[in-house]
Structure 1
Amino acid sequence: MTAVIAVAQNKGGVAKTTTALSLGGSLAEMGFLVLLVDMDPQAHLTLSLGVNPESARRTVGDVLLGHTSPVAASQETPVDGLDLLPANRELVILEKILYKRPGYEYRLKESLDRMDPDLYDVVLIDSPPSMGTLTINALTAADLLLIPVPCEYYAVRSLRQMLDLLELVRRKTNPHLRYRLLVTMFDVRNKVHRTILDQLRLRFPRALLATTVRIDTRLRESPAFGLPVTRYAPRTRAARQYREVAQEVIRILSLDRSGGMGFSLPVGVSSGMVEGGWREDEQG
C-alpha cells in the first residue's frame, strides 16, 4: 500500500516546498520509490527540480480533471527513485472549476487510489499556501499531514487555522488523517525562536517531530540546481536533518521499502531509529 504524505501550511515562506523536496530526496536516497505531486499554482516544487511549468505536456491539473493518470503525467527527475507530477499556473483557474463539481474533495485521492501500488512507496504532496480546494484534495488523499512551522509569530498563529482545517477534513472526508509538526528555519541564536520552540514542545508533546531544521543557505541554493539538498550538498547539516525527518516519517507510517506501508525497515535505517514504535498524535 502506497503511503501518502501532504506537506501543507496556509502561510507562505515556511519552507513547505523545501520540506517536500528535501524529504522526497531523503526517502529516495534510502531506496524508496517516491512520487512528488506539486499542487501549488506557483509551481515552486516543479521549478525546484529544473522543470519549466509552462512546457510540461501534462500536469496535476490534467489528473484532477480526469484527463490522464498520475503515472502518465509524471516525469523522471535527476534523482533516482524520485518522480514528479508537475504543476503550472492553470491550477488557479482549475481550483474554481473543481469547487463546483460534486465530490471535488476526492479527485486527487481517487486518481492515486487507481495507481498500481507497486509503482511507488510514497506519494509526497506539496500543497498551496491556502485552505482552498487544492489543499482539501491533498489532505483528503493523505495518510499523514506534515505541517512546517517556523518559530515566528505569524507562522505559529496560522497553525491554529491549519489545525482547524485538519479537524474539518477529518469530519468530512478523511477521518484517519494523522498529523505532525516540523519546526523549520530555526535560528538557535534567536531567543524568540528558542522560546517559541519550548512552547510548541509543551503544547504538542507528541505531534512535534524531534528533528528541528535549522536555517541553512544550502536549502536556498539547491533549487537553483534542480536538486534536493541531499543530492546537492549531501554532507551538510541541512541534508542530515532532513534525513532525520525521513527516519521519523518512516517510523510514524511504518514504511516498508518493498511496498509502502508495512513493517520492514529500509536500507540505512536501524532498529534503534524506530524504537518505541508509533504513538498516537492526538492532543488533549
Structure 2
Amino acid sequence: MTTQATPEDRDKVVTKLPQQLRRELKIRAATVGIDIQDAVTEGIQAWRSADHPLEPINTARSDSFSTYVPSVLYRGFRDDCSTRGLPYNQGLAQAIRLWLDAHPLPQRTRPVTGARRVAFGNQKGGVGKTALSAGVGQALAEMGFRVCLVDFDPQGHLTKQLSHDHLPIKGDSLVKNMCGERQSDLRDLLIEIAGESFGGRLHLLPACTDGFLLDAKLVTSREIRVKETALEKALAGIEAEFDFVIVDCPPSLGYAMDNAIYYARTRDGEPEGSSGIVIPVQAEDSSADAYQLLREQIDSLCDDLEIDVHDLGFVVNLYDIRKGYVVTSSLDNWQSLGHPEVIAVVNDLKDQREAVRMKTPLLVHAPDSDQADVMRSIARRIAA
C-alpha cells in the first residue's frame, strides 16, 4: 500500500546508490505507476520486517540519490541499520532491491486485435520523427513490452541511428513484401536491438532504399485498395510477435503516409486510443503549416475509407526557450489547440545528438538523461 504522508511528514534521504539499481528503480516505478518516494518507502518497510539476513548489494560505482520518506520511518530505519551493523547506503540498497523483487515487470497479455500500432508522422522533415520513434520504442521495451520499430523511411535514419545498414537493394525488404514481390519471411529481416534494459524485447525492421519506388509501385497496382492497405498486409505476419509496432514515417504526403495512417487506424473491436498517430512538431510556424496538410490527409482518408484514426497527441520537439518569443508563443499555440493535445515537450539537449553520433540507442547512451525520461513519459501515455 502506498504510504500517505504529507510533504511536511517526510525527511529527505540523501545517499549514494549503484547506478544500475537507481535506473531499475526509476524504470520499474514508472512501469507500475508509483512515485519513487513511495516505492522506497515500501521497500524500507519490507526491509525492516524481513526476518532473515538479506544478500549484500555491491555498492561500488555509486552515484548520488535522494528522495523523501516518512520521518518516523526514516529515523527507525537508520536506527535499524546501526543495530544490524550495516552502512546506511547498504541498508537502503537492500530495501530497494526488496521492492524491485516484489514488483517484477508485469506479464504482458497480447491484445486480441493484434499488436498496438503507433505511427510517428509529419510531412515536414527534421522535426524528430525518428528520434521520437526510437526513444519511445526503447522506453516501451524497458516497460516489458515486445516492440518492433519499423523504419518506413527510405532514407533509413532510424536504421543508421541504431548502427545498422540499409537492407540490400537486391534482397528482400518491407517494400517488396508490400508489393507482392516477397522473397522470404519478413521475420527473417528483423534485428534485435541490444540493451540490458530491453531484455531482448526490442527489434528493428530496417529500411531499404527501394522505398523511394514505393509510391510508383503502388499507383500501378491493379488490386483494389492495395494503395492504402499494403503495409498492414505486409506486417500482418509479424504482429503476433509484438505488443507494439512503431512506424517511423517518411516526410511525405504520398501513398506511404496513406498506408501508415491506415495501419494506425482503430480496428474493429479495438479500444479507442490503443493505436493511433503521434505528430512530432517544433515550436515554429512551418510545423503548423505542415500539420495542416497532414490533418487534411488524415481527414480525407478517414472519409474515403470510413475509418477512425486516433490522434495520440503532439510532441513539441527540440524546444529551446532561449530562442524567446518565437518558440514560447508557438508552444502556446500548440497547447491552445486542445485536440490533439500536447503530450510532451522535448528540450533541445545534447544527449540525443550524441546518441545519434555514437549510433547507440538513447536509453543505452544516456539512460538517466532528461530526454530519456521524457521518452519514458510519452511511452507511459501511449501504453495507458
Q: Same fold (TM over 0.5)?
A: yes
1:60 partnered with 2:174 = yes
Q: Distance in 2 between matches of 1:83 and 1:227?
A: 14
Residues 144 and 177 in structure 1, CA contact (< 8 A), matched pair in contact too = yes
| Structure 1: distance between partners of 2:333 and 2:282 | 13
**Alignment partner of 1:90: what SS?**
helix
Q: Which runs of 5+ in 2 are unaligned?
A: 1-113, 265-274
The alpha-carbon deviation at position 209 of structure 1 amounts to 3.1
Structure showing greater Rg: 2
TM-score by length of 2: 0.62
Instruction: List aligned pairs for 1:1-284, cutoff 5 A.
Output: 1-55=114-168, 57-66=171-180, 67=182, 68-79=184-195, 80-101=200-221, 102=223, 103-115=226-238, 117=240, 119-142=241-264, 143-173=275-305, 175-179=307-311, 180-189=313-322, 190-203=324-337, 205-251=338-384
Query: Residue 278 of structure 2 aligns to a residue in which SS?
Result: strand
Q: Which moved more, 1:235-244 or 1:209-218?
A: 209-218
Aligned to 1:261: none
Aligned-partner Cα distance in 2 for 1:183–1:104: 31
Give the C-alpha shift of residue 83 in structure 1. Answer: 0.7
Deviations 1:11-45 (A, max 9, x none): 10100111111111111111110001111110111
- Encode CA deviations 1:136-180: one digit per residue, 9 max, x unaligned: 111111131111010011111111001111112212336121112
Partners of 2:380 and 2:118 lie apart in 1 by 14
Which ranges of 4 or more aligned residues in structure 1 deviate by more than 6 Å?
A: none
8 A Cα contact 2:148 2:203, kept in partner: yes
Checking the alignment, whether the CA contact within 8 Å between 1:78 and 1:227 is kept in structure 2 is no
Deviation, structure 1 residue 59: 2.4
Q: Are residues 181 and 174 of structure 1, via their aligned partners in 2, closer, same or farther at CA, if it must alter by over 3 Å?
A: farther
8 Å Cα contact 1:140-1:174 kept in structure 2: no
Q: Which moved more, 1:241-250 or 1:182-191?
A: 182-191
8 Å contact kept, 2:123–2:251: yes
Asked whether the 8 Å contact 1:37–1:60 carries over to 2, the reply is no
Provide the C-alpha distance between the structure 2 equivalents of 1:237 and 1:116, rounded to a whole number of angstroms. 31
Return the structure number with greater relative CO, CA threshold 8 A, min gap 6.
Answer: 1
Contact 1:148 / 1:182 at 8 angstroms: preserved in 2? Answer: yes
What's the CA shift for 1:201?
1.3
Q: Counterpart of 1:128 in 2: which secondary structure?
A: coil
Q: CA deviation at 1:111?
A: 2.4
Give 1 or 2: higher helix fraction.
2
Name the SS of the counterpart of 1:125 in structure 2.
strand
SS at match of 1:28: helix
Distance 1:93 1:29, change over 3 A: same
Secondary structure of 1:231's counterpart equals helix
User: Hey, what's the Cα distance between the residues in 2 that align with 1:138 and 1:174?
Assistant: 16
SS in 2 for 1:185: strand
What per-residue deviation string (whole Å, max 9, x for no partner) do you get for residues 250-279 of structure 1? 12xxxxxxxxxxxxxxxxxxxxxxxxxxxx
**Cα RMSD after superposing both structures:** 1.7
Q: Which TM-score applies when normalising by structure 1? A: 0.82
Shift of 1:72: 2.8
**Equivalent position SS for 1:159:** helix
Asked if the contact 1:38–1:60 (Cα under 8 Å) also holds between the matched residues in 2, the reply is: no
User: How far, CA to CA, are the matches of 2:239 and 2:131 in structure 1?
Assistant: 28
Q: Any conservation in 1 of the 2:119–2:278 contact (CA below 8 Å)?
A: yes
